[in-house]
């Protein structure tokens, strides 16, 4: 077991102000694998003070030098790739192959994009007789979730650092060990003391202290819509910048002309990835009435291939959920789906066969799901798919947009133009067309209650900039 006692503040590891600790549990074995300090408002004060002191120097650093430091950070993360993957698998439960490709690989890629953007972005522009300067917002308080723990850190830290901001990170309490690895990479990359600071702790204490802190100029939060609403209220009351990446209930629309087998199988895989703990997962599959029964059969058969197992086994495709509370939440939704009349065609609320420990949930598929059902409206955050029927294109648009969320989605059609025309009508921040690949330069964020602002690429960089116009 790794017992850590230290916060990364002002370029050094220093003891926490209090003696509280957070236990890190392996969700596959239910064993405690480490502890980190539970930070207090005093720790947050020290971290914010360090970030404020470092701000003038980092903001005045030439973009090319900031780019070089972010490039070194990318290299330091790449050197730790195997350790990162193993750590995420241990504290989150993601299958090792997924941790290597996504949890470790994606943040390295994103850091690389910001090394380039920091060097290439124009921090000045000419508009008529005016010069417009793009300057850093200031000190950023970043509060990140457990489901993609390193990716969400890098998606905030890299653009903030590229913009010339300094920051304080409060990572999720379920996955703090990979955040410590990130801090080690920051130190190795040679970022000046105080530019990046890490405070581990629980949300209602350290997270709230960071969001409320007068020395923080911007809060960037990824997590549930319920918590995001509170963060937004705090930031709004203080008249400070806020970015919120929140929940989703994304629709995967299979138009009649699409390759049904391909669309359904990939759709099921999308929902099962990361044990369904993905805010942008396509948890509502919409299929035309004429092909609905066939799609349900394909989906049930595809889900059955995601056998829960040991996440360290290279053959495992479905690991456990992150903790016991999350397992109870997801199985509760499955029971609700059954009680409200949905047809359970795969999985269910009982523990998977042969699993004696670990927070596992069976890969679950519901058919006969109607728009008013709870499982069609609320974010479940587990390996649960709802297959829904539509009668025509107008009906599909109505059902897809009948959600308080608008984070992501997908559309499938034989003709790309047909798919794009449908995608334009979706009220959501991102749409995958015929299984489109993830693009780390494309903006990611939501409409409606899915959030405020965008992450990744140049749009993610501008979130951390504010403008000043010089009039001549």
The tokens for 199 are 């405070």
What are the residues facing 153 on neighbouring strands?
none
Please tell me the distance from the alpha carbon of residue 110 to that of residue 108, in angstroms, as a whole number: 6
- Please identify which of the residues 212, 245, 379, 463 carries the catalytic annotation: 245
- Among 168, 158, 165, 163, smallest CA distance to 198 is for 168
The total number of residues shown for the chain amounts to: 472
Helix axes 105-120, 149-163, angle to 10 degrees: 10
**Strand order across the beta sheet in which 432-433 lies:** 343-346, 364-369, 384-390, 284-288, 251-254, 409-412, 432-433
SS3 content of the chain, % helix, strand, coil (to 5): 45, 20, 35
R_g (Cα) of the chain, nearest Å: 22
Please tell me the distance from the alpha carbon of residue 315 to that of residue 307, in angstroms, as a whole number: 10
- Please identify which of the residues 165, 173, 279, 463 carries the catalytic annotation: 279
E strand map for 115-183: 124-127, 130-136, 139-143, 166-170
Contact 90, 32 (CB under 8 A): no
The tokens for 304 are 């059955």
- Among 364, 366, 294, 382, smallest CA distance to 93 is for 382
Whether 279 sits among the annotated catalytic residues: the reply is yes
Whether 165 sits among the annotated catalytic residues: the reply is no
Please tell me the distance from the alpha carbon of residue 100 to that of residue 26, in angstroms, as a whole number: 17
Angle, CA of 326, 328 and 332, to the nearest 5°: 120
What positions carry a catalytic annotation?
Answer: 245, 279
């Amino acid at each position: 077991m790794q017992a850590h006692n230290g916060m990364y503040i002002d370029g050094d590891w220093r003891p926490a102000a209090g003696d509280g600790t957070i236990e890190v549990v392996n969700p596959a074995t239910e064993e405690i694998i480490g502890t980190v300090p539970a930070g207090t408002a005093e720790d947050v004060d020290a971290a914010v003070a360090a970030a404020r002191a470092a701000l003038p120097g980092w903001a005045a650093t030439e973009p090319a030098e900031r780019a070089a430091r972010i490039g070194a950070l990318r290299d330091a993360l790449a050197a730790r790739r195997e350790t990162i993957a193993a750590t995420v698998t241990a504290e989150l439960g993601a299958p090792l192959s997924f941790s290597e490709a996504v949890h470790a690989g994606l943040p390295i890629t994103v850091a690389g994009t910001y090394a380039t953007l920091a060097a290439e972005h124009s921090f000045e522009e000419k508009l008529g007789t005016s010069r417009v300067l793009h300057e850093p917002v200031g000190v950023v308080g970043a509060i990140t979730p457990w489901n993609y723990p390193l990716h969400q850190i890098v998606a905030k830290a890299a653009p903030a650092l590229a913009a010339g901001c300094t920051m304080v990170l409060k990572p999720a309490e379920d996955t703090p060990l990979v955040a410590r690895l990130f801090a080690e990479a920051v130190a190795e990359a040679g970022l000046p003391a105080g530019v990046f600071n890490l405070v581990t702790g629980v949300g209602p204490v350290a997270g709230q202290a960071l969001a409320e802190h007068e020395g923080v100029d911007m809060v960037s939060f990824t997590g549930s819509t319920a918590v995001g609403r509170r963060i937004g209220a705090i930031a709004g009351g203080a008249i400070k910048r806020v970015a919120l990446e929140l929940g989703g209930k994304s629709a995967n629309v299979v138009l009649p002309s699409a390759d049904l087998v391909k669309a359904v199988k990939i759709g099921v895989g999308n929902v099962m990835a990361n044990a369904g703990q993905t805010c942008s997962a396509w948890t509502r599959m919409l299929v035309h009435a004429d092909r609905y029964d066939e799609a349900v059969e394909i989906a049930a058969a595809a889900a059955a291939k995601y056998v829960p197992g040991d996440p360290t086994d290279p053959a495992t495709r479905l690991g456990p959920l992150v903790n016991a509370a999350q397992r109870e939440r997801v199985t509760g939704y499955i029971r609700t789906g059954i009680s409200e009349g949905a047809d359970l065609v795969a999985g269910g609320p009982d523990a998977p066969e042969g699993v004696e420990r670990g927070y596992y949930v069976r890969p679950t598929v519901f058919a006969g799901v109607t728009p008013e059902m709870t499982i069609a409206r609320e974010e479940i955050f587990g390996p649960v798919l709802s297959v829904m029927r539509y009668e025509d294109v107008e009906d599909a648009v109505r059902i897809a947009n009948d959600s308080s969320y608008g984070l992501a989605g997908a559309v499938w059609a034989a003709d790309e133009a047909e798919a794009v025309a449908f995608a334009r009508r979706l009220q959501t921040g991102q749409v995958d067309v015929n299984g489109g690949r993830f693009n780390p330069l494309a903006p990611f964020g939501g409409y409606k209650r899915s959030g405020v602002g965008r992450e990744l690429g140049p749009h993610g960089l501008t979130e951390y900039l504010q403008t000043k116009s010089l009039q001549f």
